[in-house]
Amino acid sequence: MTISTANKQLDKTTALILAAGQGTRMQSETSKVLHEIAGRPLIYYSIRAALDAGCKDVVVVVGHAKEQVARYVVEMFGEQVRMAVQSIQKGTGDAAAAGLAAVDGDNKNIVVFYGDAPLIVADNIRAVTLALEAAPSSLHLATCTLDDPTGYGRIIRNSTSSIVAIREQRDLRSSEEANIREINPGIYAASLEFFRAALASLKPTNAQGELYLTDIVTFAVANHQPVVSISLPTDVLLGVNDRVQLADAEGKMFSRIANHWRRFGATISTGAMIDDAVRIGRDCVIGPGVILRGETVIGSQVRIDVGCVVTNTKIGDASLLKPYTVIGNSIVDKYAQLGPFSHIRPDTNIGEGAHIGNFVETKKTTMGAGSKANHLAYLGDGIVGERTNIGAGTIFCNYDGTRKHLTTIESDVFIGSDSQIVAPVRIGAGAYVATGTTVVKDVPADALAIGRVRQENKEGYAERIRQRNRSAKGSSGAQGQ
Ligand code: UD1
Ligand code: CA
């Protein structure tokens, strides 16, 4: 799932992607095409399909919330994509006309599609565009056949099966038309010359009073230009108009992404949710309910068990994430083991073979190779060397109420359970910190730091306490427990 532009065949084709609409049915302050599925905005998928198809010139028509949409497109795709502006949203035909104004004059072929159809892939664009190359004077469009065509433009054919029109849901003229299951997924290809003439001819004579891109079909028919349909599989079709369709599209995208990595040799449970930008190596096992987000890279032979959430993190080969580990913006080297229930916060660096166990929280901390913190600890702002053992209940006291301070623990150190390490402080290589110590000053290499109160045993004292408690209870008349 990478962006590749290496396809010479569509060098002379401009892809025009319409993304200026408001998306009223989303009920949102955000532009529809910036709503995300599988970790990327809808518009990303349309642009990538165009680039992957090999279109050298890609123009995105922006309008509603154009600053936000344009900012995203520029950040993500840089100079690979140009922008055109449709200032007033007067319909898809008007949007396409706004886009035409920006088309590279050298390009003679145009393919137009929508920014709200994220399941369309490069092959679909290529199918329609290559058909155009074979028959340059025709209008080419994709069609799909659905069990439930509700909401889509219907493909109207005459008695000889030629396409004569596309009729929008709101403009259907009869129940026969409503029952037509062949619909318009919205990919059109023709010559620049054809689009110029066809778009100039559009009239807003429809239920919405808009200029419909779909009416270029009627123009072609009136001008005796053949209309060629290319039938596409139904799984590419899904125009996202509301949040129900957004969820549907995301579900389909997740299963498409999982299948992609399965084909590369990963075992992925159904129900795992893997973002589009994630990479997964061979022989990984991804358990149920696992969520892999953002720019996460999983090496090979990694096992990620039930319910882990991994965000923007690199996991090295043969590492193991036990159930319900949450990790973000961090790096894990090979053979490491995390979890169950570890919370690895940003800028953590887990070394080769290191172990982080249950209820251990880390932040901005480096754990050297082979070091372990197996139970119940907070390791914030720390540098830990190799083969160091951090006992249960250890806390790096990194915050003085104003600033964060660094804890440095060198290699081969043993930190006894329930120790507080008050930063800034350094514990030298090979040192021991006795259980229950509050470390407030540096510990030299190979020293023992012990800072707890000496234990005293008072023989028989327990019975005296019990008697005192009993008499206190009697005199106050307190209720038994
Ligand atoms: C459109 C098609 C319909 C097709 C369906 C497929 C038309 C008239 N209808 O309907 O036949 O079955 O897509 O999903 O084309 N846009 C603009 N400027 C505008 C209006 C829309 O740029 O003035 C953009 C939108 O941002 C969107 C795309 O065009 O990305 C489609 O617009 P939308 O209103 O969603 O069209 P549909 O009603 O879904
Ligand atoms: Ca739509």
Q: Atom 13 (ligand 1): residue with closest C-alpha?
A: 186
Is position 412 within any domain?
Answer: yes
In a domain? residue 434: yes
Please state the atom number of ligand 1 nearest to the C-alpha of residue 115. 30
Q: What pLDDT sits at residue 108?
A: 87
The pLDDT score that the predictor gives to residue 329 is 98
Question: Residue 92 has which token pair?
Answer: 């898809």
Same structural domain for residues 65 and 214? yes
**Same domain, yes or no: 103 and 206:** yes
Residue 379 lies in a domain: yes
What is residue 5's predicted lDDT score, i.e. its pLDDT? Answer: 40
Ligand 1 pocket, residue 214 CB under 6 Å: yes
Residue-level pLDDT at 352:
98
94 close to 78: Cβ distance less than 8 angstroms: no
Determine if ligand 1 sits within 6 Å of the CB of residue 114: yes
Angle between helix 42-53 and 122-134 (nearest 10): 40
d(CA 252, CA 461): 70
Cis peptide bond upstream of 340, omega within 30: yes
* Cα–Cα distance, 228 to 86 (Å, whole number): 28
- Same domain for 216 and 289, yes or no, is no
Using a 6 Å cutoff on CB, does residue 213 contact ligand 1? yes
369 CA to centre of ligand 1 in angstroms:
55
Is the residue at 194 inside a domain?
yes
The ligand 1 atom nearest the CA atom of 183: 12
Strands 331-332 and 326-328: unpaired
Testing ligand 1's pocket by substitution, the residue of 92, 113, 214, 217 carrying the most ligand atoms inside 8 A of its CB is 92
Q: Which domain holds residue 59?
A: 8-236
- pLDDT recorded at residue 1: 46
Q: Does residue 281's CB lie within 6 angstroms of at least one atom of ligand 1?
A: no
Q: Are residues 232 and 272 in the same domain?
A: no
Q: Is 204 helix (H, G, I), strand (E, B) or coil?
A: coil
Whether residue 220 is found in the same domain as residue 277 = no
Whether 212 is in the pocket of ligand 1, judged by its Cβ within 6 Å, is: yes
Is residue 155 a contact partner of residue 184, using CB atoms and an 8 Å limit?
yes
Contacts of 2 (CB under 8 A, 6+ apart): none
Residues 6+ apart with CB under 8 A from 191: 108, 109, 110, 132, 136, 137
Q: Which ligand is nearest to the CA of 34?
A: 1
Give the tokens for residue 167: 């009729």
Please name the residue whose Cα sits nearest to atom 19 of ligand 1. Answer: 91
In a domain, 253, yes or no: yes
Q: What separation in Å is there between the alpha carbon of 152 and the centre of ligand 2? A: 8
CA atoms of 225 and 193, how far apart (whole Å): 12
Residue 477 has a pLDDT of 58
Q: What is the pLDDT of residue 22?
A: 87
Shared domain for 375 and 266, answered yes or no, is: yes
- Judge if 216 and 266 occupy the same domain: no
Clarify whether residues 444 and 406 are in a common domain: yes
What CATH number is given to the structural domain containing 280?
2.160.10.10
Cα 336 from Cα 344, distance rounded (Å): 13
Number of helices (H), then strands (E), in the chain: 9, 38
| CB-ligand 1 contact for 280 (6 Å cutoff) | no
- Where the chain has pLDDT below 50, the residues are 1-8, 480-481
Based on the fold, state whether residues 185 and 326 are members of the same structural domain: no
Ligand that lies nearest to the alpha carbon of residue 95, given by its number in the listed order: 1
| Ligand 1, pocket-test mutation among 114, 156, 216, 218, most atoms within 8 A of CB | 114
Residue that terminates a domain, selected from 189, 216, 236:
236
195 and 158 fall within a common domain: yes
Distance of CA 32 from the midpoint of ligand 2 (Å): 10
Which ligand is closest to the CA of 169, given by its number? 1
- Give the CATH number of the domain where residue 126 resides: 3.90.550.10
Buried b (16+ CB within 10 A) or exposed e, 299-309: bebbbbbbbbb
Q: What is the tally of structural domains in the chain?
A: 2
Give me the active site residues, please. 375
Domain boundary, last residue among 236, 270, 300: 236
Burial class (CB in 10 A: 0-12, 13-18, 19+), 164: middle
> Is any atom of ligand 1 closer than 6 Å to the C-beta of 217?
no
DSSP 33: G
β-strand partners of 231: 143
Q: Are residues 345 and 381 in the same domain?
A: yes
**Whether residues 272 and 315 fall in one domain:** yes
Ligand nearest, relative to CA of residue 237: 1
| Beta carbons of 73 and 31 less than 8 angstroms apart | no
